[in-house]
Amino acid sequence: MRAPYSHFRAVLAGALLAGAALVSAGCAAEEEQTLVVLGPWTDGEEDPFEATLRELSKQTGRHYVYEGTRSLRETLVAQLRADAPPDVAILNAPGDLAEYALDGDAQPLPPDVQSKAIGPWAPPITVTDSDGNTDKNAYWVPVRVDLKSIVWSKAGEEAAGDDEAVWCLGMASGPTSGWPGTDWIEDLLLQRHGYEVYEKWATGKQPWDKGPVKEAWQDWATVLATDDADTRPDPLTKHFENLGAKTYGLLNGKDCTREHQGSFIRRHYGPDVKPAPTSDFVEGLSADRKMFEVSGDMAAVFKPSPAAWDLLLKLASPRAQADWIAAADPQERPFFPSDAAGTARRGVSAPTGSSAAVLGLFSGADQICLDASDAMPPTLRGAFQRAVLEFLQKPQDTAELDGLLGQLEKERQLQRNAKAFVLDDLCEEPPG
């Protein structure tokens, strides 16, 4: 009987060892969990963010895979249709995020993450479930932000009445071509009519074909009339930043001297290019209105797990922000929501040059407003971008403008009837 008993003990020991190995493998798998992050940065712009993810991986034992694309909406829609969403997606259009929240794809933030939903980048929205129950929640967290409502120019070219100045115009941007022009309309409306009218328009409560909105288009036509259209490159085919031959930044070309663009564009310029409020360059705008548009890259969870929620918390933490800054070149250092309050980070040197100038405008603002078209329903935003491209072909044609605004007004009414406007609070005082 001893041989069978010995055999039993050997089999039992082997089973225990195998079980222990399985448990150990399970723990290792949990520690080495892989999360996919879909985001907007490509062509080298993603390098500092990927370096930040590698630092986070050292802290958590998890593996993060970044997938960058310039066609965020199209890519994410395809992944959702294939039932293969990323764990986390970083998008720059709150209107799209609201749509994903209403469809049940983007997940509401749990209580311990809610505090990271900083306004105006992450306003709460009300979602109704299939049983008719409503719940108001935040669904995303801003992980990086940018300031708009600014003009970039080289030293000595700052005067509003400079007859030699030429505006940079580049509208090409793949499926989102036209957005640099929507920025112009939004900014002119904000600066001339104030944040309350701006917010009313961006949330679908203001008509397009008359009043302040029409005046903003007319203001832009006046701005464009100061340039010689015959010598300007075609803005519809010219890229908003890529000049070709590995040259970037419209001001680095030879055909324009002023660029209306967000703070991200500083990565292409040296210390001789400075930012200033739009009101410094467009006659008739009040310099007393310290209001700026802002944009942001917002992270939302599409495949919920403790690790995914932890990633959102980590990305919004001072440590990860410091790692992101340290991995970036000086002109590419990202801005964060807390930067509007001048928050310092341990071990991070003070910003200089154009970055410091942008932060000065941030902290001195009375109101900051989320980019209007980014907050609109996707179909209206697309119609807005296409209208800009058509407008630029005949910017002084009043009948053409009336026709375009009539079409946009019909789209606004259609989206209002469909209850597609779900964002309300788009303007706030800067954080802190």
Give residue-wise pLDDT tens across range 30-60: 446 899 999 999 989 999 999 999 999 999 9
**Residue 161 corresponds to which tokens in the numbers above?**
């009445």
Closest CA to 176 of 248, 95, 78: 95
User: How confident is residue 4, by pLDDT bands cut at 50, 70 and 90?
Assistant: very low
User: How confident is residue 3, by pLDDT bands cut at 50, 70 and 90?
Assistant: very low
Helices 378-391 and 94-102: crossing angle in degrees, nearest 10, is 150
- The pLDDT of residue 25: 40
- The pLDDT of residue 30: 45
Torsion-angle region of 412 (φ positive above 0: left; ψ -120 to 50: alpha; else: beta):
alpha
CA–chain centroid gap for 56, Å, is: 22
Residue 262 vs residues 45, 280, 292, 388, 391: alpha-carbon distances, Å? 15, 16, 10, 18, 22
pLDDT higher than 90, residue 77: yes
**Which comes out higher in pLDDT, residue 130 or 38?**
38
**Residue 410 corresponds to which tokens in the numbers above?**
């019909």
Length of the chain: 432
- The pLDDT of residue 163: 65
Question: How many Cβ atoms are within 10 Å of 10's Cβ, its own excluded?
Answer: 10
**Residue 186 corresponds to which tokens in the numbers above?**
């939004």
Dist. CA 139–CA 100, nearest whole Å? 9
Contacts of 398 (CB under 8 A, 6+ apart): none
- The pLDDT of residue 7: 40
Dist. CA 373–CA 186, nearest whole Å? 8
By the 10 Å C-beta count (0-12 exposed, 13-18 middle, 19+ buried), 133 is classed as exposed
pLDDT higher than 90, residue 235: yes
Which range scores top for mean pLDDT: 164-173, 271-280, 406-415? 406-415
pLDDT higher than 50, residue 10: no
Taking CA 413 as the corner, what is the angle to CA 412 and CA 417, rounded to the nearest 5 degrees?
120
Contacts of 359 (CB under 8 A, 6+ apart): 335, 339, 342, 351
pLDDT higher than 70, residue 161: no
Backbone angles phi, psi at 309, to 5 degrees: -65, -35
**Residue 154 corresponds to which tokens in the numbers above?**
């080289």
pLDDT higher than 50, residue 151: yes
Dist. CA 288–CA 272, nearest whole Å? 26
pTM of the predicted structure, to 2 decimals: 0.89
Alpha helices in 132-240 (DSSP H): 179-193, 195-202, 211-224
Mean pLDDT of 67-72: 93
Grouping H, G, I as helix, E, B as strand and the rest as coil, residue 430 is coil
What are the beta bridge partners of residue 276?
Answer: 151
Alpha helices in 61-142 (DSSP H): 72-81, 94-102, 111-114
- The pLDDT of residue 349: 79
**Which comes out higher in pLDDT, residue 156 or 271?**
271
pLDDT higher than 70, residue 421: yes
User: How confident is residue 159, by pLDDT bands cut at 50, 70 and 90?
Assistant: low
Which range scores top for mean pLDDT: 123-137, 179-193, 269-283? 179-193
Is the N-terminal amide bond of 120 cis, ω within 30° of 0?
yes
- The pLDDT of residue 343: 67
For 292-346, how does the pLDDT look when each residue is reduced to its tens digit (9 = 90+)?
999 999 999 999 999 999 999 999 999 999 999 999 998 889 999 987 666 667 7
Q: Which domains does the chain have, with CATH numbers?
A: 33-145+295-354 (3.40.190.10), 148-293+367-428 (3.40.190.10)
Mean pLDDT of 6-31: 40
**Which comes out higher in pLDDT, residue 124 or 287?**
124
Dist. CA 153–CA 270, nearest whole Å? 11
Mean pLDDT of 398-420: 97
Task: Give the whole-number percent of the chain exceeding pLDDT 90.
Answer: 75
